[in-house]
Amino acid sequence: MVAQSLQYAKALSPDILAVHIATDDEAGRKFKEKWEKWNPDIRLVTIYSPYRLVIKPLLDYIEQLERTKAPSDFITVLIPEFETKKWWHRLLHNQTGWILRTLLILKENVIVATIPYHLQK
């Protein structure tokens, strides 16, 4: 799922960064090591959120990017989502992505795209 999302991102722009939310320094360090071994040639930004919050720290980071970008630039946020076979399974997955997308579409010059990932089982 991550590889597909990054492949799509590379098709959109050469200026890509991946964002990882880590609960502590150790988790952030381990993820960074794995990222560097995998070496997708994409910059990784780690945001530390000790209380497992995802949406607020990510929204804060996007707002920070908005303040530093040129007026004619856009920020595109790609959200990978599980596509389940049964509609009621969707209630268990993708809630964070749905909330994030709902909050981001209200921002000017921020584009939100979801990337479906079809579960086999």
Return the pLDDT at 118.
75
Return the pLDDT at 85.
75
Return the pLDDT at 55.
92
Per-residue CA distances from 102 to 57, 59, 79, 83, 87 (Å): 16, 12, 12, 18, 20
Return the pLDDT at 94.
64
Question: CB neighbours of 68 closer than 8 A, spacing ≥ 6?
Answer: none
Q: What are phi and psi of 62, to 5 degrees?
A: -65, -40
> For the chain (length 121 residues), average pLDDT per consecutive 10?
87 94 95 91 94 92 94 92 74 78 91 84 60
pTM of the predicted protein model: 0.84
